Amino acid sequence: MNGDVIARYYKSYGVEIVRGFMQYVWDSRGKQYIDANTNHGVAFLGHSNPDVVDAVVEQVRRIVSVPLNFGNEARDAFARSISTILPPGFGKVYLQNTGTEAVETAIKIGKKVTGRKTIVAFTNSFHGRTMGSLSITWNEAYRRAFQPLYPHVRFAPFNAPHAVDKHVDEDVCCVIVEPVQGEGGLSVATREFLGALRSATKERGALLIFDEIQCGFGRTGSVWAFEKYGVYPDLFTAGKAIGGGVPIGLVIASDALGEVFQPGEHGSTFAGNALAMAAAAAAIRHFVERDVPTVVRAAGKALMDALSSVKGRTALRVKGDGLMVGLELRVKAEPFVERLLERGVMALTASVNVLRFLPPYMISEDDIDHIRRALLEVLQ
């Protein structure tokens, strides 16, 4: 394929993907796959979703790059469109290009607003690969080669409400948590845990950040995963799917924080570029018009039922929420990703022993049945 020119970050499956449409992709030999990988959740609205394609093509012909110190109608359209899906009291959006950049921005807001240094994160967390985000990411395999990281980080146990008080003291600027952990293994936060984080941060003057880069934008069957809990953070992040396939990262902040940065204190060359803005505006319009969260709730239940039906000697239990689903195995999950690929299903791993499924929201009953049959074959 690309020989040795492109530096390798991930293992290669030796398959060249040439085309995608909605929940399917095709390789260079014409083989069709159900895409339950979606590039770690990005293609949630489907590949080459026609609504997004039309908006992107029109924008590319008009203009792609406009500095943030100039106005632009694509950015205005994005502002109008995202306003329709923001929870009450969350009216400030910080534009970035990737998830990890959004996390970096959220941390900077936490430090700037509180003037403090310590960040609390959780066991099995994943927040990205740049140095700040990596410092609050749990997996030692991702961290080992890059020490020293940001030193003022405390990892507290995930879903342990009773341990929260001990970790959140007056030195903490922010607490960051994924309401549903993606990379770390599809664990779903309990209401009691998020509630304990909210109380402790409020009491000690720290900011609470929910990282919704993977679990947000309808993936769990509500617009934002935290809305199901009735527990509201001070800021939350979004990324992946909300760009309709085009790179984007966002921090969405509570109005109470006001305008945080002075001009020059923060920035990013590509942030708010007209291409990403037009794509995200179209993606959000599609999301609202199709009432994606409602579709996800039904499809998610069907997928979870299908995965539950393959439990047995190798598959232990089903985890996750909505269309963010994991099948926990008694053995390593990675070899099964390749076996599923042979059967026309693209999936992912999460942690070591969880097979992860992040399909587009329009996955059909037939697709789910195909996944079920493929799993029965590979797991026996």
Ligand X SMILES: Cc1ncc(COP(=O)(O)O)c(C=O)c1O
Q: Which is closer to ligand X, CB of 128 or CB of 132?
A: 128
Q: Which is closer to ligand X, CB of 40 or CB of 370?
A: 40
Q: Which is closer to ligand X, CB of 182 or CB of 374?
A: 182
* Least Cβ distance, residue 373 to ligand X (angstroms): 29
Whether omega for the bond prior to residue 148 falls within 30 degrees of 0, making it cis, is yes
d(CA 277, CA 274): 5
Residues in a beta bridge with 32: 26
Of 249, 299, 307, 297, residue with least CA distance to 273: 249
* Least Cβ distance, residue 291 to ligand X (angstroms): 24
d(CA 209, CA 206): 10
* Least Cβ distance, residue 182 to ligand X (angstroms): 4
Q: Which is closer to ligand X, CB of 172 or CB of 242?
A: 242
Side chain identity at residue 231, one-letter code: V
Q: Which is closer to ligand X, CB of 95 or CB of 310?
A: 95
Residue whose entry in the numeric block shows the structure tokens 């587009």: 360
* Least Cβ distance, residue 41 to ligand X (angstroms): 7
Query: Which two three-digit tokens encode residue 119?
Result: 């960040």
What does the DSSP assignment read for 82-95? HHTTSPTT--EEEE
Query: Which two three-digit tokens encode residue 345?
Result: 């299903």
What number of helices (H) and strands (E) belong to the chain? 12, 15
**Interface residues toward ligand X, by CB under 6 A:** 40, 98-100, 103, 126-128, 178, 182-183, 211, 213-214, 239
* Least Cβ distance, residue 54 to ligand X (angstroms): 25
Q: Which is closer to ligand X, CB of 104 or CB of 367?
A: 104
* Least Cβ distance, residue 212 to ligand X (angstroms): 8
Q: Coil, strand or helix: which one is 115?
A: coil
Q: Coil, strand or helix: which one is 193?
A: helix
